[in-house]
Amino acid sequence: MTEETPHAVTERFYRMLGLARRAGKTVLGTSVICEQMRAKKKPVLILVSSFASEGTRRRLFRKSSFYNIPCLTVESPCDVLGHLMGVPGTLAAVAVTDPGFARELSLECK
């Protein structure tokens, strides 16, 4: 059994997140994610950049706790997350709407 390097785990996480984006199973941006949490079809996982502002992190964690949606912090800079998701500029949070992608991504975060 070989032990994976942190870089390999990060690359696999980014690939899985990119697949979820191309499959149309993501919601991008804090305000859109908050709106989606109030909707009938809620996200199943929220990923927040550890580089996001304290207010943004606090807002998403409180709302996700209220709606009983898992919210994880990822060690990815906002500009890298934005680039990965095809957004010009920075991106503080991504919500995943598919349970399969959410399960795989949450395993990669641990």
Average pLDDT of the segment spanning 93-97: 96
Report d(CA 92, CA 28) in Å as an integer. 9
Report the predicted TM-score, pTM, of the whole model to 2 decimal places. 0.89
Question: pLDDT tens digit string along 31-89?
Answer: 999 999 999 889 999 999 999 999 999 999 999 999 999 999 998 899 999 998 999 99
Looking at residue 1, its pLDDT comes to 41
Close Cβ partners of 23 (under 8 Å, ≥ 6 residues apart): 98, 101
Looking at residue 2, its pLDDT comes to 44
Does the pLDDT at position 7 exceed 60?
Answer: no
Contact status, residue 78 vs residue 90, Cβ threshold 8 Å: yes
Report d(CA 51, CA 10) in Å as an integer. 16
Alpha helices in the chain (DSSP H): 6-22, 30-38, 54-66, 78-85, 99-109
